[in-house]
């Protein structure tokens, strides 16, 4: 070091294990995790791998999970048991499962997050729709995902509908036809909000919230072009759950919305 130079700040590396690294989203996250200067990806775990052994041997600070709703809770609880804060992007978890994970994190003094969507644009879409909800009479959600998605409706659509309903003092109007010629065509319903799920090849993850009121409609939508859109939200979550022992449900509080 030359005289007068200040020493470079020491970068504290966050050790991360990625469960579901062979999946579509996992593969999209890998470049961002490997490029981050303050993150060390110590292992990727796929189907059939022994997660418990990886956690024991690699000792990560964070377990990122993008797997399947049938195993995501068990994975996250294993992470907490090993001292790794969970960052869960797997959708389809029941509220009781999220409650159980939050309790486990609290007991262990760990941070954690379960988010229905890690795309920052999708989080902003939900927030904007929530602001519009008190001013509109009716609302419907159309969500589109790839054909292999395990759950329907999506976690984002369910979370959106619940937030819209909670933002109102009265229930949304949900019209029902006198004659139903094909069952299910009016979609499912959550809090007076109809939800329609589309599953097609060629789609990643899109959502539109359509509001209706006399003489006009309002549409707030989000389009996912590629799964790399999830990386900024995941990186933000990793850093935050290590920095503070707090459990988050969604990215909203991390974005200070």
In the set 68, 135, 145, 248, the catalytic residue is 145
The reply to whether 109 and 233 lie within a common domain is: yes
The reply to whether 246 and 201 lie within a common domain is: no
Mean pLDDT of the chain: 93
Q: Are 63 and 55 in contact (CB under 8 A)?
A: yes
Residues 123-149 have a mean pLDDT of: 96
The reply to whether 130 and 46 lie within a common domain is: no
In a domain, 50, yes or no: yes
Tell me the C-alpha to C-alpha distance, in Å, between residue 16 and each of 58, 83, 104, 209: 9, 12, 19, 35
If one compares 2 and 204, the residue with the highest pLDDT of the two is 204
In a domain, 6, yes or no: no
- Residue 114 predicted with pLDDT over 80: yes
Residues 190-208 have a mean pLDDT of: 96
The reply to whether 219 and 92 lie within a common domain is: no
Q: What is the secondary structure of 50-83 as a DSSP string? A: -HHHHHHHH--SEEEE-S-TTTHHHHHHHHHHTT
CATH code of the domain containing 52: 3.40.50.720
Q: Are 12 and 38 in contact (CB under 8 A)?
A: yes
**Residue 145 annotated as catalytic:** yes
Residue 1: which pLDDT band, with cuts at 50, 70 and 90?
very low
In a domain, 4, yes or no: no
End-to-end CA distance of the chain: give it in Å, rounded.
44
pLDDT score recorded for residue 43: 97
In a domain, 170, yes or no: yes
- Residue 81 predicted with pLDDT over 70: yes
pLDDT score recorded for residue 150: 87
The reply to whether 145 and 195 lie within a common domain is: yes
If one compares 223 and 175, the residue with the highest pLDDT of the two is 223
In the set 135, 146, 149, 222, the catalytic residue is 149
**Residue 248 annotated as catalytic:** no
pLDDT score recorded for residue 177: 87
Q: Are 44 and 54 in contact (CB under 8 A)?
A: no
pLDDT score recorded for residue 191: 92
Residues 56-64 have a mean pLDDT of: 97
d(Cα 211, Cα 130) in Å, to the nearest integer? Answer: 11
pLDDT score recorded for residue 7: 61
d(Cα 254, Cα 257) in Å, to the nearest integer? Answer: 8
In a domain, 18, yes or no: yes
The reply to whether 247 and 199 lie within a common domain is: no
In a domain, 43, yes or no: yes
In a domain, 9, yes or no: no
The reply to whether 142 and 180 lie within a common domain is: yes
pLDDT above 90 coverage of the chain, percent:
86
Residues 66-92 have a mean pLDDT of: 96
- Residue 121 predicted with pLDDT over 50: yes
The reply to whether 103 and 183 lie within a common domain is: no
The reply to whether 80 and 167 lie within a common domain is: no
Cα torsion 106, 111, 117, 123 to 10°: value is 100
CATH code of the domain containing 163: 3.30.360.10
- Tell me the longest C-alpha to C-alpha distance in the chain: 85
In a domain, 1, yes or no: no
State which residues form the domain around 77.
14-114+228-255
Residue 9: how many other CB atoms lie within 10 Å: 6
- Tokens 């110590």 belong to residue: 42
The reply to whether 197 and 152 lie within a common domain is: yes
Q: How many domains does the chain have?
A: 2
């Amino acid at each position: 070091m030359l005289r007068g130079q200040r020493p470079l700040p020491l970068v504290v590396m966050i050790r991360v294990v990625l469960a579901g690294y062979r999946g579509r989203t996992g593969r999209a996250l890998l470049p961002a995790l490997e490029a981050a200067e303050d993150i060390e990806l110590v292992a990727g775990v796929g189907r059939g791998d022994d997660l418990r052994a990886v956690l024991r041997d690699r000792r990560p600070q964070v377990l990122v999970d993008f797997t399947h709703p049938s195993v995501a809770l068990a994975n996250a609880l294993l992470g907490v048991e090993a001292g790794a804060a969970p960052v869960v992007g797997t959708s389809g978890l029941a509220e009781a499962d999220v409650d159980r994970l939050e309790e486990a994190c609290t007991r262990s003094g760990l941070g954690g997050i379960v988010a229905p969507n890690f795309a920052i644009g999708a989080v902003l879409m939900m927030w904007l729709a929530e602001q519009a909800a008190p001013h509109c009479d009716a609302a419907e959600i159309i969500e589109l995902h790839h054909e292999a998605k395990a759950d329907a409706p999506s976690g984002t659509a369910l979370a959106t509908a619940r937030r819209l309903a909670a933002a109102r003092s009265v229930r949304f109007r949900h019209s029902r036809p006198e004659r139903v010629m094909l069952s299910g065509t009016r979609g499912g319903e959550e809090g007076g909000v109809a939800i329609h799920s589309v599953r097609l090849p060629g789609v990643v993850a899109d959502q539109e919230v359509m509001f209706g009121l006399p003489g006009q409609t309002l549409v707030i939508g989000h389009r996912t072009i590629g799964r790399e859109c999830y990386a900024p939200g995941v990186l933000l979550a990793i850093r935050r759950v290590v920095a503070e022992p707090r459990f988050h449900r969604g990215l909203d509080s991390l974005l200070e919305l």
